[in-house]
Amino acid sequence: MAEAIVELKHVNIYQSNSLILQDVNLTVNKGEFVYLVGKTGTGKSSLLKTMYGELPMTEGEGVVAGHNLKGMDWKKVPFLRRNLGVIFQDFQLLTDRNVNENLKFVLKATGWKDDKLMNEKIEDVLDKVGLKSKGFKMPYEMSGGEQQRVDVARALLNSPKLILADEPTGNLDPETSDEIMQLLFQITKDYNTAVIMATHDFIVINKFPARTLKTERGRVWDNASITIE
């Protein structure tokens, strides 16, 4: 039987005091790839933020990677995030240190202490994203595609059960976008990691089809027929 990594039931999502999404019912299973589409301001980011504990969940039931979101206090959020990888559109790499040090910073922040184990893990994730020999490079010495690969490597550090990707191909040319998409699909296959990817890029969706969720009119629609307006 499929194992659910995300299970939301009758969830209402608020930003400040405004209701952004209502009655969200959603199950995402281990190893599943899911797109999240919708116009700007329809709640895509709010849904992702709820899943990684940035927006508190007050109404409905929600479990992500085995963690109950309802009433989660700030002390428990780091434990949730250790089971998640988050990939951003703008990379969010620390510009004052090289790739290895960027990754080591994340490991230390999530409780790793042993230098040897950290170095092995860093080498492992860089190898997975095709950057084995680039650990010494500074972010500004790398292309946009390479920086996005580092971002993917960073998301893999704690062997997450779920990766939340927010417009990961938004700043990349088509060829590099394809490479990043192939990498994300490979991760779902190799590690049985679920990926939820917010995107505006319908070319990518047509080229790499998968289950699609759409935020519209305050709801989340599953595999809604998508029209580009």
184 secondary structure, DSSP code: H
Structure confidence at residue 172 (pLDDT) = 87
161 secondary structure, DSSP code: S
Structure confidence at residue 223 (pLDDT) = 79
Asked, for residue 164, whether it belongs to a domain, the answer is yes
Helices 115-128 and 99-109 sit at what angle, rounded to 10 degrees? 120
Asked, for residue 196, whether it belongs to a domain, the answer is yes
Asked, for residue 25, whether it belongs to a domain, the answer is no
Asked, for residue 206, whether it belongs to a domain, the answer is yes
Asked, for residue 229, whether it belongs to a domain, the answer is no
Structural domain of 123: 33-53+73-222
Asked, for residue 68, whether it belongs to a domain, the answer is no
Asked, for residue 8, whether it belongs to a domain, the answer is no
Asked, for residue 165, whether it belongs to a domain, the answer is yes
- The CA-CA-CA angle for residues 109, 111, 117, to 5°, reads 105
**What six digits make up the tokens of 207?**
């080229």
- The residue assigned the tokens 């994300």 is 184
What is the pLDDT tens value at each position of the chain, 229 positions in all? Answer: 679 999 999 999 998 889 999 999 999 999 999 999 999 889 998 999 999 999 999 999 999 999 999 988 888 888 898 889 998 777 789 999 999 999 999 999 888 999 999 999 999 999 999 999 999 999 999 998 999 999 999 999 999 999 999 989 888 889 999 999 999 999 999 999 999 999 988 999 999 999 999 999 999 999 755 554 4
Structure confidence at residue 229 (pLDDT) = 43
* Sign of the CA dihedral running 136, 138, 141, 142: positive
Please report which residue ranges of 4-143 form alpha helices under DSSP H.
44-51, 77-81, 99-109, 115-128
- The residue assigned the tokens 């790793």 is 112
CA–CA distance, 220 with 47 (Å, rounded to integer)? 9
201-206, long-range: CB within 8 Å, 24+ apart, which pairs?
201/169, 201/170, 201/177, 202/37, 202/226, 202/228, 203/174, 204/169, 204/177, 204/178, 205/35, 205/37
Closest by CA position to 47, among listed 75, 73, 14: 14
* Residue 196: CATH number of its domain: 3.40.50.300
Structure confidence at residue 187 (pLDDT) = 93
Q: What distances in angstroms separate CA 67 from CA 43, 79, 126, 213, one per listed residue?
A: 22, 8, 28, 22
**What six digits make up the tokens of 94?**
């620390």
Q: Phi, psi at residue 70, to the nearest 5°? A: -65, 120
Beta strands in the chain (DSSP E): 4-15, 18-29, 33-37, 59-64, 67-68, 84-87, 162-166, 194-198, 211-216, 219-222
Closest by CA position to 215, among listed 207, 224, 206, 204: 224
Q: How many domains does the chain have?
A: 1
